Structure 1
Amino acid sequence: MAVQLQCAWNLESAMLLQGAVGIGMRTQCVPEGYKECEEIPELRCDSFTNTSAQSVVLIGYEGCDKIPNGHAFLREGFESMNKLAMPMDPINRGDPQRYKPIDWKSAAAIEFFGPGYKTGQFDVYRETIQKNMDRLASTDSAFFLGWRLHVRCDDPKNECSCFDGTETEAYTMHDDKYKDQINFCPRYFELKSLEQAVHADKKDQKNFDVIKKYWNRSCVWAHEILHVSWLGTPANPIWPYMQDQQIEKGGIWWRAYRVLDVKYLAYSRKAQPWEAINNPQNYAFFALANYVQEVKGFYPSAAMWWWPRDDPPDVPSVTSANSGRRRCGEDMALDYAANRTSSV
């Protein structure tokens, strides 16, 4: 069931709009049923359900002025995320702010969320996937009215560079309910834009079907935005937000970030059905695969997970960027209960 939001304007907005449209001055904007609303003045939105259009105002930007094109690359990535998640059919369920109905027999659905015996096990599985994709498709940029999302570049958790040599592209902090913040690391600003990534290296026929080569700033946004408490919804309603799922092999745990990691979660009989559904990286690759297929006319199938009964992929190298195996900051990898940070 969609969560109806009780929305409000802050004082500045109310003063500007009260006379024009006759609205009353209100001070709350939270999902119905929550009582902490008085403590979250930075939230502000138009009335919507959790599957309709959602305008988001980016605020904060601490440390981003020190990065060349910092503000521009953040806005571009955010706005391109909406484009990444919008390869829609002409009818589009009568709503231009929703993702197209997912074809559960398509290559992307099977590779990134699982075959029918997994996703079709319970109705809530497919409903959760569709609604999360709807949110990616309907979340767009605004300058004045909308949800306020805090972004920054100053790495307050010290997790951008880790002593094991890995580099993080971004991470989401959940310090307070409805006050989630996304920090973007230098690695994010080294990535290509959506258009650059999809249309680059036209002569590289050898690797044209390798999906990772198309990874870009909009994909990082798609991953991180699903970590935000009031946007991404896990299949397990007990969890307050979507958490990076983990894989274990030989006593070593790592987050499912790599292409083979997310395909293992989706396709392997050794992984639970809800693991792929709850993993933001699966959604990012799913959206990217569909976008490439629509724009380029072919499906980027590599790398492939061949056999559902195989053991997990090899343990990632600690020196590979965005490997999922990290030891830094609060060392988020092992304890979900204590985890207050989500990263990619």
Structure 2
Amino acid sequence: MLNIRAIFNIPPILLSALVTHAYAYPDGIINDAKGASRPTYATILTGGEGCSSSGLDSIRAGFSEMITLFASAVPFDFISQPSIEFFGPSILANYTDMIASNLQRAANYGVLEGGEGPVNADVHVRCDDPMGICEVANKREGSHAAYNIGNDPHVVFCENYFKTDGLEKRVDKKAENQMDKDCLMEYYNRATVWARMVMHFSDIGRAVVQRAVPAGPNSTADWTMSVSQGAMNTSVLAGVMNERPDAPSDPETLKYAYGITQSKLLAVLSTQMSYHAANNAENYALFALAQYIVQRKGFYPAVPIMDFPNEASVLTNENIQDGERTKYAYFDMVDVVYVCLIRAEVAVR
């Protein structure tokens, strides 16, 4: 199976064919099976390459459950406990409107066919792992449940996705378990995976982008910072080192912030920028999950609580850096694959 590094060694003609295959949208629509009780949404799921009929049903069900999650997250209550724990510094830095808008655009997937309200673009789904990263993993950290092809509405679902429970089943089961009920990660489900994926779509999740640009002729500095908004990619977590760097000369690449622990640390460590939490797709998915549990069960599963004597105790603690025992993403790899870079490679040749 192809991996990211091997792709750039493919002859241009074959590479071009791969990119075309990765982005090919079939004419057909993935219709629900007869008798399906889910409502008909204005946004349509297309594609389905490599998916079994049961797999497609799980993907459709997860999409519908994701809509339920985001319906629980709007309007954005910026003073709730989950919002403070997942977005605190971003709220204080006046990114509240950006967060609220991101959540509302995701909630717009709930617009019914023929109903009123903004309609999001159709989403292409597939199960054939065209970029070959579903199986890249290790025993300790697991592997991705899904990944995006660029920031377009295009999601690849991996084997781990089909092992996750549905939203109501998972929440009901864990809320009744006295050992697990207070730990938010125990409630992670296929709707949460979907929620993270759609936040990477450029039409849904917007993020703060800062770049150094040459200063003007009247400036006393050589460089200045340009601040804008762009697609929500994957934020990194300071202090958690990547054990699989892309190159030997880059041994201290930071790991990516997946899971409850890493996502909450984005919002409490002083080493993070104030907008990092608001830039991280996982924070939105987990916040929506927390809000759903609060509304459905009447309590907030707040564990892990980010209460530690000093930051050094976090940055040197392997147990904290490892995150939860159950993983739904490979911490050493991004979940957004940039096919546009491959296209550029073809154009140059």
TM-score (norm 1): 0.68
Partner of 2:64: 79
Partner of 1:5: none
Partner Cα distance (1:319, 1:288) in 2: 19
After TM superposition, give the deviation of residue 247 of structure 1 in Å: 1.6
- Separation (CA, whole Å) in 2 of partners of 1:210 and 1:279: 20
Letter paired with 1:245:
S
Give the direction of change, closer, same or farther, for the CA distance of 1:245–1:308 in structure 2 (3 Å limit): farther
Q: Is the 8 A contact 1:256 1:281 kept in 2?
A: yes
* Aligned-partner SS, 1:130: helix
Question: Helix, strand or coil for the counterpart of 1:171?
Answer: strand
Task: Tell me the equivalent position of 2:248.
Answer: none
| Cα 1:246/1:101, change in 2 over 3 Å | closer
The aligned counterpart of 2:138 is 164
| Displacement of 1:307 | 4.1
How many equivalent residue pairs?
267
Aligned AA (2:70): A
Aligned pairs for 1:317-332 (under 5 A) are 321-322=327-328, 324-326=330-332
The residue matched to 2:307 in structure 1 has which SS?
A: coil
Q: Deviations 1:18-46 (Å, cap 9, x if unpaired)?
A: xxxxxxxxxxxxxxxxxxxxxx9999xxx
Matched, 1:56 2:64: no
Q: Give the alignment partner of residue 235 of structure 1, picking from 191, 194, 208.
A: 208
Higher relative contact order (CA 8 A, sep 6+): 2
Instruction: State the alpha-carbon separation in 2 of the partners of residues 339 and 246 from structure 1.
Output: 23
Residue 269 of structure 1: how far off its partner (Å): 2.1
Matched with 2:172 is: 199
Bigger proportion of residues as helix: 2
**What residue in structure 2 maps to residue 280 of structure 1?**
281
RMSD (Å) for aligned C-alpha atoms: 3.4
In the alignment, is the contact (CA less than 8 A) between 2:134 and 2:159 conserved in 1?
yes
- Secondary structure of the 1:150 match is strand
- Output the CA distance in 2 between the equivalents of 1:55 and 1:110: 33
Give the aligned partner of residue 214 of structure 1.
187
Question: Which TM-score applies when normalising by structure 2?
Answer: 0.67
* Structure 1 outlier segments of 4+, above 6 Å: 40-43, 141-146, 317-320, 337-340
Task: Tell me if structure 1 keeps the 8 A contact 2:134–2:144.
Answer: yes
SS in 1 for 2:68: helix
- Gap change, CA 1:266 and 1:204, over 3 Å in 2: same
Matched residue of 1:235: which SS?
A: strand
In terms of mean alpha carbon deviation, does 106-115 or 250-259 score higher? 250-259
Give 1:167's aligned amino acid.
S
Task: Report the AA paired with residue 282 of structure 2.
Answer: Q
Cα distance in 1, alignment partners of residues 254 and 199 from structure 2:
22
2:101 is equivalent to residue 131 of structure 1? yes
Residue type at the aligned position of 2:84: I
* AA matched with 1:140: G
Aligned residue number for residue 237 of structure 2: 247
Question: Partners in 1 of 2:113 and 2:168 — Cα distance?
Answer: 23
Structure 2, gaps ≥5 residues long: 1-23, 28-40, 210-226, 242-251, 344-349
Could you list the per-position Cα deviations for residues 303-340 of structure 1 after superposition, in whole angstroms to 9, with x for gaps in the alignment?
1111495144633389963354336xxx779x9x9699
Corresponding residue SS for 1:231:
coil
Percent identity for Structure 1 against Structure 2: 28
Q: Counterparts of 2:76 and 2:137 in 1: how far apart (Å)?
A: 43
Distance 2:260 2:288 in 1: 13
